[in-house]
Amino acid sequence: MKNILLFLIILLQTALFGDNNPLYEIRGESSEIDANLTQFLKQWRDNTTKPIEDGNYTNIFLHADITKGKIVALTFDDSPDENNTDKVLDILNHYNVKASFFMIGSPIQDNNATVVKRAFDEGHLVLNHSFTHPHLKTLANDEIIQELNATSEKIESITGHYPLLFRPPYGDVNQQVMNTLNTNGYTTILWSLDSLDWAIKNKDAIIENVINHIQPGDIVLMHSSRANQSSVDALPEIIEKLQQLGYKFERLDEMLGIKAYR
């Protein structure tokens, strides 16, 4: 019976997605980015997903189980800021959508602390995106641990909850980084669909990229820092179009079946 179920799942994946396994791929492309950046992204995606597929990187997620149906998770990096994070929260509240925010520790102060609490109080996940947004591969183990713990402790001081889900800045990991993250009890969250809102300033191109490449179980990468007004502008239409396509939105802990906090 178990073998039959596995065979049916493989058939379903093939019918929906062809030969590519969506659990081990990162999508997102646009004519708005040049050939050099497109090639760089392809190389980075291949180098990142292959160790996951081979089982060398563990306790790391790109995608949810596709058999759960048409669910997606909206995730926002580089919060908080004093402007766009609030705008994103307003939009999510309007559509009654829950999301996951990966926040940088160093900007969490004064007015920005208010938006951190607001995100948590409104039912979103407030998660760890390092303290200073470095390339982790350039750091020693104790420096990585300091980046992790300082941010989780700051978030806990505001929300009362210590986040255990971590997104490495730039998606920058190698075996040493992954070992350090796992040893210290963190689960690593990457993404399966890059909205490219960090590179594209045209909101229509962001919308087109997301809608054209969406698949069930996707973790969608977006941003909500002061540099990402185009992402804020694109968000309402992305939500509406995905809803029209029958998608439902879940937080990462719900979609992946994992603990968000200690």
Render the burial of 194-209: b for 16+ CB within 10 Å, e for the rest: bbbbbbbeebebbbbb
> What is the residue-wise DSSP string for 140-184?
-HHHHHHHHHHHHHHHHHHHS--B-EE--GGG---HHHHHHHHHT
Q: Which pLDDT belongs to residue 16? A: 45
* Residue 2 forms part of a structural domain: no
Q: What is the largest CA-CA distance in the chain?
A: 57
* Residue 13 forms part of a structural domain: no
Q: What is the pTM of this model?
A: 0.91
- Domain range spanning residue 127? 21-256
pLDDT at 132 over 90: yes
CA gap 149, 155 in Å, rounded: 10
Query: CATH number, domain at 42?
Result: 3.20.20.370
Q: Judging by beta carbons within 10 Å of its beta carbon (0-12, 13-18, 19+), is residue 81 exposed, middle or buried? A: buried
* Residue 106 forms part of a structural domain: yes
Instruction: Choose, from 77, 78, 86, 253, the residue flagged as catalytic.
Output: 77
Nearest 5°: the CA angle 245, 241, 256 is 65
CA gap 51, 55 in Å, rounded: 6
CA gap 205, 227 in Å, rounded: 17
* Residue 16 forms part of a structural domain: no
Instruction: Choose, from 213, 223, 233, 253, the residue flagged as catalytic.
Output: 223
* Residue 126 forms part of a structural domain: yes
* Residue 262 forms part of a structural domain: no
pLDDT at 18 over 70: no
223 is catalytic: yes
User: pLDDT for 206-220, tens place per residue?
Assistant: 999 999 999 999 999
pLDDT at 194 over 80: yes
Residue 147: count of CB within 10 angstroms of its CB: 25
Query: In which residue are the tokens 């002061």 written?
Result: 226
Question: If DSSP codes are grouped into helix, strand and coil, which group holds residue 233?
Answer: helix
Q: Average of pLDDT values for 122-142?
A: 97
Q: Which pLDDT belongs to residue 21? A: 62
CA gap 70, 56 in Å, rounded: 29
**How many domains, in total, are found in the chain?**
1
77 is catalytic: yes
Summary count for the chain: helices (H), strands (E): 9, 9
* Residue 117 forms part of a structural domain: yes
* Residue 6 forms part of a structural domain: no
